[in-house]
Amino acid sequence: MPTAKIAPSLLSGDFSRLADECERMLGLGADYLHMDVMDGHFVPNLTLGAPIIKCLRPRTKGFLDCHLMVSRPEQWVDDFADAGADLLCFHYEATEDAAALIDKIHAKGMKAGMAIKPKTPVDVVFEFAPALDQVLIMTVEPGFGGQAFMAECMSKVSELRARFPDLDIQVDGGLAPDNIEVAARAGANVIVAGSSIFKAPSPEAVITLFRKAVEDAQPTA
């Protein structure tokens, strides 16, 4: 199983000092910086876009994990590549040609991820998984932070891990100290969390706890 990667969601950070928040999270042990990109169309909320990623890139060496919750994600690949995104994750539900989009993302020098909503069956991912760098199983409906974790989505993680043992499997939505072990045991190794990290008395302790849960759940040789 791939290594644990903890990805604080900057959606829960202080947008007035976003670069400082990125560096703070990295200093506390984060591996990825998760950027929630929402267009007000594919999801009802509206957040940051490529211009903000471009401003952040010179201010951080962190891995910018950009989750596009947008319609027609194809139109934004060039902009995010130029902005300095490291990984571009699109929604299966938002594109008509996922294979071509994966190729386009890779051609621009970025890693490619695919996300699915809670009601989307996991088998839609199988044909694309060999070409993907990461699959994101949403554990809440995309569009807003602070929602409750949907444990029923863990069967998707388990099935995906069984079929693709070396794949980075990300979970996003409501992850917290009281449910991280469920996600880790299912096979998730990339953990996105917003409120449970940023609002914790000790964000560093939460990041450490998440990492230990994933590592403890990994099979021993």
Active site residue 172: yes
Residue of 31, 36, 65, 86 with catalytic role: 36
Phi and psi (nearest 5°) for 126?
A: -55, -45
27 annotated ligand-binding residue? no
Structure token digits, residue 31:
């591996």
Is 71 marked within a binding site? Answer: no
Please indicate if the annotation marks 49 as binding a ligand. no
Q: Which of 39, 65, 133, 172 is catalytic?
A: 172
Contact criterion met (CB below 8 Å) for 66 and 54: no
Query: What's at 78, amino acid-wise?
Result: D
103 is annotated as contributing to ligand binding: no
User: DSSP state, 128?
Assistant: T
The answer to the question of whether 109 is labelled as a binding residue is: no
Active site (annotated) includes residue 36 = yes
Amino acid at 207: I
Report whether 194 belongs to an annotated binding site: yes
* 92, 125 contact by CB (below 8 A): yes
Joined together, the tokens standing for residue 30 give 């984060």
Provide DSSP, 87-121: EEEEEGGG-S-HHHHHHHHHHTT-EEEEEE-TTS-
Q: Six-digit token pair at 21?
A: 């928040």
195 in a labelled binding site: yes
Tell whether 133 is in a known binding site. no
9 is in an annotated binding site: yes
Is residue 145 part of an annotated ligand binding site? yes
221 token code pair:
């040789």
Instruction: Kindly list the catalytic residues.
Output: 36, 172
Known binding residues for substrate are 9, 67, 143-146, 174, 194-195
Binding residues for a divalent metal cation: 34, 36, 67, 172
Binding-site residues, in ranges, read 9, 34, 36, 67, 143-146, 172, 174, 194-195
